[in-house]
């Protein structure tokens, strides 16, 4: 089972493309795996015969697990072979029947004890990684006491001692919790739905986010009339391409992404994330955009929004959204960024508050446009299209006034859309 990103520790083997006894050539697709974020076909890296399948379709397996064995030729007994990373046949040293070649084996979590740098930038010593792996302690939950917040062995020992003496009320025994809930519905017909990897990951991350990030919320009404007119004119001008083919249609969301990117450039102090003992401030606008998919949500990241045109943003976002729904995004396409957009306006939701997706420091929730009556300059009444936007902020990074400044900059961009047409 190959590694598909620094934070991926397991995946579901969703399909086999070869059967036992079939010949395999380099580049042939052998099997498919699914994680909570992506789906990927895994090719062979050398020729041989598929001699043994050790993991059946549908099973969840850890990174580095031997899922199958290729023999050099058929017939004959299966011979485990040492191959480079991403291969099927590399085995942990303890499981090998032949003399191990540790320089060519898949580097498994059991051998390397996890990442030396967490996603928030925190460093972890080798000794601490080994202790955490042995004690099954999540490094993301440990506060480091070393220089610049580095996690040391003593931090893991303290965390392990604390877990033995004071079980946290937020981590109940799962079987007991399941039994206590199901007993309430003993006389009600229901269908138990097992949690897939994506739903488990979403539950874990958002629970952690809500418990560990001090959220606060800012809301504002934004008038859309100028933007709607500008978008209609742009789409009409691009109705047909050079050869008479239908042109690309800009969505309102494309303008929202661009406006938020420009707002981050105008308010650079808000373009940050929390990194334990420091803030990381970015010089570019990398914006995650929530995409609803079957069974959950993925947030691909549009990078360098500040330097891209609306057409470039629209083209890239269509591609990212399509591959998110197919679950074929690469880790680099959904990791990183400082802020995200969640737009439920197209579903008729007028206003909502979103939960921040770590490591982001904020998320912008966009509601549906409605017609409202406004007082005109001469004291009369005029009607306008307005939407409600709400900014969820991490108070460790963004204070109230700073969040208000960012939201005001976004509003300015939406209500002055001619500026968004500039690169």
Tens-place pLDDT, residues 275-333: 888 999 999 999 999 999 988 899 999 999 999 999 999 999 999 999 999 888 888 89
Q: At what angle do helices 252-266 and 400-415 cross, to 10 degrees?
A: 130
Look up the CATH architecture of domain 201-421. Answer: 2-Layer Sandwich (3.30)
> Which listed residue (17, 215, 395, 412) is catalytic?
395
Going by C-alpha positions, the residue among 397, 363, 394 that lies closest to residue 213 is 394
Q: What residue segments make up the domains of the chain, in order of their start? A: 10-107, 113-186, 201-421
Residue 120 tokens, joined? 């928030």
pLDDT of residue 175: 60
Q: For the segment 6-21, what is each residue's pLDDT rounded down to a tens digit?
A: 567 778 888 899 999 9
pLDDT of residue 415: 96
CB-count burial class (<10 Å; 0-12, 13-18, 19+) for 403: buried
360 is catalytic: no
Going by C-alpha positions, the residue among 308, 307, 310 that lies closest to residue 237 is 310
pLDDT of residue 367: 97
- This model's pTM is above 0.85: no
Going by C-alpha positions, the residue among 274, 2, 35, 7 that lies closest to residue 138 is 7
Contact indicator for 111, 139 with CB cutoff of 8 Å: no
pLDDT of residue 58: 85
pLDDT of residue 135: 76
Distance (Å, rounded) from C-alpha 50 to C-alpha 18? 7
Pick one of 1.10.10.10, 3.90.1640.10, 4.10.320.10, 3.90.1150.10 as the CATH number of 113-186. 4.10.320.10
* CATH class entry, domain 10-107: mainly beta
pLDDT of residue 305: 96
SS (H, E, C) 282-343: CCCCCEEECEEECCEEECCEECCHHHCCHHHHHHHHHHHHHHHHHCCCCHHHCCCCCEEEEE
In Å, what is the CA distance from 232 to each residue of 235, 308, 422?
5, 20, 17
Going by C-alpha positions, the residue among 69, 62, 8 that lies closest to residue 44 is 69
Query: What's the average pLDDT block by block, 10 residues per block, for the chain (423 residues)?
Result: 72 89 89 79 86 89 86 54 36 39 39 66 82 78 82 84 51 61 87 83 88 95 96 81 67 96 97 92 96 91 95 95 90 91 95 94 97 91 96 96 97 95 77
pLDDT of residue 292: 93
């Amino acid at each position: 089972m190959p590694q598909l990103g620094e934070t991926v520790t397991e995946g579901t083997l969703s399909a086999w493309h070869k059967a036992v006894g079939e010949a395999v050539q380099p580049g042939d697709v052998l099997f498919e795996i699914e994680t909570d974020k992506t789906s990927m076909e895994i090719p062979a890296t050398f020729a041989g015969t598929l001699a043994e399948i050790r993991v059946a379709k549908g099973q969840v397996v850890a990174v580095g697990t031997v899922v199958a064995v290729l023999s050099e030729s058929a017939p004959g007994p299966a011979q485990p072979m040492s191959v480079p990373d991403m291969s099927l046949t590399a085995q942990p040293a303890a499981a090998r029947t032949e003399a191990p070649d540790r320089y060519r084996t898949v580097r498994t979590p059991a051998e390397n004890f996890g990442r030396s740098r967490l996603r928030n930038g925190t460093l972890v010593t080798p000794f601490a990684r080994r202790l955490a792996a042995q004690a099954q302690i999540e490094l993301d939950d440990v506060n480091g006491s070393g220089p610049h917040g580095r996690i040391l062995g003593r931090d893991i020992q303290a965390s392990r001692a604390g877990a033995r003496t004071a079980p946290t009320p937020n981590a109940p025994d799962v079987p007991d919790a399941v039994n206590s809930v199901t007993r309430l519905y003993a006389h009600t017909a229901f269908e138990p739905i097992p949690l897939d990897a994506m739903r488990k990951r979403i539950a874990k991350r958002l629970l952690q986010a809500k418990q560990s990030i001090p959220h606060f919320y800012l809301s504002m009404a934004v008038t859309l009339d100028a933007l709607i007119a500008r978008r209609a004119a742009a789409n009409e001008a691009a109705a047909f391409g050079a050869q008479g083919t239908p042109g690309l249609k800009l969505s309102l969301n494309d303008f929202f992404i661009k406006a938020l990117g420009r707002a981050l450039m105008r308010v650079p102090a808000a373009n940050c994330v929390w990194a334990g003992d420091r803030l990381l401030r970015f010089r570019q606008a990398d914006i995650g955009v929530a995409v609803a998919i079957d069974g959950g949500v993925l947030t691909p990241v549009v990078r360098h929004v500040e330097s891209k045109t609306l057409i470039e943003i629209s083209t890239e976002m269509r591609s990212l959204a399509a591959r998110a729904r197919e679950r074929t995004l690469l880790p680099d396409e959904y990791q990183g960024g400082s802020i995200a957009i969640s737009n439920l306006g197209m579903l008729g939701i007028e206003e909502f508050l979103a939960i921040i997706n770590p490591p982001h420091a904020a998320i912008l929730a966009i509601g549906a446009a409605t017609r409202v009556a406004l007082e005109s300059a001469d004291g009369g009444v005029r009607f306008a299209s307005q939407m409600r936007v709400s900014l969820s902020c991490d108070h460790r990074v963004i204070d109230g006034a700073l969040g208000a400044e960012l939201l005001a900059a976004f509003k300015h961009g939406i209500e002055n859309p001619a500026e968004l047409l500039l690169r």
